[in-house]
Structure 1
Amino acid sequence: MKSLLEIDNAVKTIYNDSQELNILDGINLSIKPQDFIVVLGTNGAGKSTLLDAITGANTLTSGKILLNDEDITSTNLAKRSRYISRVYQDPKLGTSPRMTVAENLLLAKRRGLPRRLRLRKLNEHMAEFKDFTKDLPTLDNRLNTFTEKLSGGQRQTLSFLMAIIQKPELLLLDEHTAALDPQTSQELMELTDKVIREKKLTCLMVTHNLTEAVKYGNRLIVLKKGKVVLDLDSEAKAKLKEEDLLEYF
């Protein structure tokens, strides 16, 4: 199967006390359509830097990134946002606090489109947004609620919905359940898995949670010191146990 995203010998170098440090150290990665890849690694392994490189938030020192065979290595973050969505760990990131839930969804729906003055026509989208949130008891009756009034779990659920409303070619989840309480985290993770499967999304999910890493996704990658030290396909991952991963931490 043809790759959706190809990362070719990606290197990200920073300078610390006049010394070179490769946060990404020659990473090669091929992501197929509908892959749900879980990424594990200790702090400083390069997980968030890898996501930054994919979104364009951080420029590679060397190497290439190809999306559908198109070189996007030098493409800016705004242009990549048409195809790549990201949900951050902090529920406050990715949403506008002084806008309602519906207004945030409308903003996400127009992501990547040319910016110009025009009527927002919010009411024309309300039926669509009600249908979009109908199976989410935490948000289904809060379309007119300002986002700053939501709980952390509600706000993170909104961030997730905003990320997938346009069905991105690639969804990046940067420890998106880590800041939530266990019950809310589990509910959002179950929603995440359901949406990815039903919408046939391609996803790269960073987590520190070994239970999530074993349970979800069809592929597992472990990063260590900027290198891929383990890459398991669905068959190998199905045989994996949490204790098998402890040696990498």
Structure 2
Amino acid sequence: MQPLLELNNVTKTIYNQNEDINILNGVSLKIYPEDFIVILGTNGAGKSTLFDSITGALNITSGKILLNNVDITSKNLNTRSKYISRVYQDPKFGTSPRMTVAENLLLAKRRGLKRRLIFRNLKKHLPEFDERLSEFKTLDNRLNTFTNKLSGGQRQTLSFLMSIIQKPDLLMLDEHTAALDPQTSHELMEKTDEVIKKEKLTCMMVTHNLEDAMKYGNRLIILQHGQIISDFNSEEKAQLKEKDLLKYF
């Protein structure tokens, strides 16, 4: 099977206090269609840098990144956003507070398209948006609510919905439930897993929650000092205990 995303010897080097430091140190990884990869690692392991490198938020120092066998190493963030979407940890990040839920979803529908002056035709999209919101209890009947009036959990659910509305080639979840209370976090994580399976999405998810790391996804990657030190498949992952993961921290 052809990888959807391939990283070949990806390195990101920064200059700090008279020395070069590799935040990513020769990372090679193949991600296949419908993979749901969970990534664990301590603070400073390189998780955010890995995500920034894939999305184009950071330029890598060396190596190659291929998406659908096309070299995207030199492509910018906006170009890659046509194919790659990302949900951040902060519920306020990724949504516009002074726009309604419907208007935010319309922005997401146009992600990666050329910017030009056109009529927005919001009404045309309302039935589609209303149907999508009905799948998420916390946002049902909230189409005309301004985003700054939503709770953190509702706003993060909106960010997730915005990220999948165009069905990206790759969905990247950057600790997207970490800032929520335990109940809301659990509900969004359950819904995330349901949607990924239903829509057959390919996903990478960073988490510090060991229970979630063991429960969700078909692969588990451990990142340490900018290198992948373990890549467990679904069978190996099923045999892991929480104590097996604690040794990496």
| TM-score tier after normalising by the smaller chain length | over 0.9
> Structure 1: which 4+ aligned runs deviate by more than 3 Å?
none
In structure 1, what is the equivalent of residue 49 of structure 2?
49
Distance in 2, matches of 1:48 and 1:11, equals: 14
Distance in 2, matches of 1:135 and 1:47, equals: 30
In structure 1, what is the equivalent of residue 91 of structure 2?
91
Q: Percent identity?
A: 71
SS in 2 for 1:129: helix
SS in 1 for 2:66: strand
Distance in 2, matches of 1:12 and 1:116, equals: 35
In structure 2, what is the equivalent of residue 7 of structure 1?
7
Kindly state the Cα deviation for residue 135 of structure 1 after the two structures are TM-superposed.
2.4
Q: Does 1:198 align with 2:195?
A: no
TM-score, normalising length from structure 1? 0.99
Distance in 2, matches of 1:216 and 1:137, equals: 22
Distance in 2, matches of 1:160 and 1:154, equals: 10
Aligned length in residues: 249
Distance in 2, matches of 1:77 and 1:137, equals: 32
Distance in 2, matches of 1:120 and 1:19, equals: 51
Structure 1 unmatched runs, 5+: none
Kindly state the Cα deviation for residue 30 of structure 1 after the two structures are TM-superposed.
0.3
AA matched with 1:188: L
In structure 2, what is the equivalent of residue 119 of structure 1?
119
Distance in 2, matches of 1:45 and 1:82, equals: 28
Distance in 2, matches of 1:89 and 1:145, equals: 22
In structure 2, what is the equivalent of residue 22 of structure 1?
22
Distance in 1, matches of 2:173 and 2:43, equals: 16
TM-score, normalising length from structure 2? 0.99
- Deviation digits for residues 30-66 of structure 1, max 9, x if unmatched? 0000000000000000000000000000000000000
Distance in 1, matches of 2:41 and 2:135, equals: 33
AA matched with 1:220: L
Q: Does 1:38 align with 2:59?
A: no
- Coordinate RMSD, CA, aligned: 0.6
Distance in 1, matches of 2:153 and 2:159, equals: 10
Kindly state the Cα deviation for residue 18 of structure 1 after the two structures are TM-superposed.
1.2
- Deviation digits for residues 124-156 of structure 1, max 9, x if unmatched? 111111101112221111110000110000000
- Farther off after superposition, 82-91 or 108-117: 108-117
Kindly state the Cα deviation for residue 22 of structure 1 after the two structures are TM-superposed.
0.4
- Superposition map of 1:126-145 within 5 A: 126-145=126-145
- Deviation digits for residues 60-92 of structure 1, max 9, x if unmatched? 000000001100000000000000000000001
Structure 2 unmatched runs, 5+: none
Q: Does 1:187 align with 2:178?
A: no
In structure 2, what is the equivalent of residue 101 of structure 1?
101
- Deviation digits for residues 205-229 of structure 1, max 9, x if unmatched? 0000000000000000000000001
SS in 1 for 2:177: coil
Kindly state the Cα deviation for residue 114 of structure 1 after the two structures are TM-superposed.
1.5
In structure 1, what is the equivalent of residue 235 of structure 2?
235
SS in 2 for 1:248: coil
In structure 2, what is the equivalent of residue 165 of structure 1?
165
SS in 2 for 1:138: helix
SS in 2 for 1:9: strand
